[in-house]
Amino acid sequence: MGIVIDGRAVAAKVRCSIKEETEKMIANGVTPGLAVVIVGNNQASRAYVNNKEKACEEVGIRSEEYALPEETTEAELLELIAKLNAKEDVDGILVQMPLPNQINEETVLNAILPSKDVDAFHPVNVGKIMIGNYDFLPCTPAGVMELIKETGTDITGKKCVVIGRSNIVGKPMAMLLLHAHGTVTICHSRTKDLKEIVKDADIIVAAVGKAKFVTADMVKYGAVVIDVGMNRDENGKRCGDVDFEAVKNVASYITPVPFGVGPMTITMLLKNTLKAAESRLK
């Protein structure tokens, strides 16, 4: 039976290190600052924002929230971002997605200064990740890399399969595994012989958004399985893209849902904010 990777424990360890670095920075006269912008009343977004603010408080990062009404125009949001770009004590800017229909998400993401883009979604930061000369890493893929590292697995030469090709997880995840010298295959909805490809993998990262999509007969014995999915099963219970109960019997390591990748995503956001503040200290 595979070892379950406790994302909460790994996140706590990383946050402890972030807190120590933050305290040193504050002693040198710089308090890292994160501005979080939320537009509208999406309940899931509100929960995420609350968790981010709580995490900032835990490690000593100052957070400021800008809650805007649902009817906010794109021009009004861009005006706020311009002010935050110019604000010296704001090191990172995070605009919570999704945004209301009247606002173009791509326009908003492009308006954030790359040096304050702690989500690493700006095209400049995406390009830097591609060539391996990055300032920030996208939070979820960076969290996945920490979890793999926790298992003691050396990615070098391993066959790695990423299921999903989104700009937020799939594509950057593939790049990070490639930078770690893995041999990477990206699978998606039009992949032929997907089951056979996944079955050959030493490391599987599932980010497809389909409940229990990865079944035990798709996983090689001893593979490391990281589940990025967040779905609901037929009983309304939270579950991932991996059939956890079945796959844990063949995997060497596996992340649960919840409490696997989730806690790491916010932790990597804190790490990026700290890194952004370091440039201000310099």
pLDDT in tens, 40-76: 999 989 999 999 999 999 999 999 999 999 999 999 9
Tell me the per-residue pLDDT of 155-208, one tens digit each, with 9 for 90 and over.
999 999 999 999 999 999 999 999 999 999 999 989 999 999 999 999 999 999
> What is the structure's pLDDT at 7?
97
Residue 119 is among the residues annotated as catalytic for this protein: yes
Domains in the chain: ranges and CATH: 30-113 (3.40.50.10860), 139-262 (3.40.50.720)
- From the candidates 96, 243, 271, 275, give the one annotated as an active-site residue: 96
> What is the structure's pLDDT at 1?
82
Round to the nearest angstrom and report the end-to-end CA distance of the chain: 48
Residue 154 is among the residues annotated as catalytic for this protein: no
Question: Average of pLDDT values for 19-42?
Answer: 96
> In 3D, which of 93, 99, 100, 144 has the Cα closest to residue 120?
93
Task: Write down the pTM of the prediction.
Answer: 0.95
Which positions ≥6 away from 263 have C-beta within 8 Å?
7, 8, 10, 11, 143
> What is the structure's pLDDT at 281?
76
Residue 43 is among the residues annotated as catalytic for this protein: no
> What is the structure's pLDDT at 258?
94
Q: At 173, which amino acid appears?
A: M
Per-residue pLDDT at 240 exceeds 90? yes
- From the candidates 91, 119, 202, 241, give the one annotated as an active-site residue: 119
Across 180-203, b (16+ Cβ under 10 Å) vs e yields bebbbbbbeeeeeebeebbeebbb
Tell me the per-residue pLDDT of 73-128, one tens digit each, with 9 for 90 and over.
999 999 999 999 999 999 999 999 999 999 999 999 999 999 999 999 999 999 99
- From the candidates 52, 248, 271, 275, give the one annotated as an active-site residue: 52
> What is the structure's pLDDT at 279?
86
Per-residue pLDDT at 235 exceeds 90? no
> What is the structure's pLDDT at 33?
98
> What is the structure's pLDDT at 71?
97
DSSP 8-state secondary structure symbol assigned to residue 184 = E
In contact, 225 and 207? CB cutoff 8 Å:
no
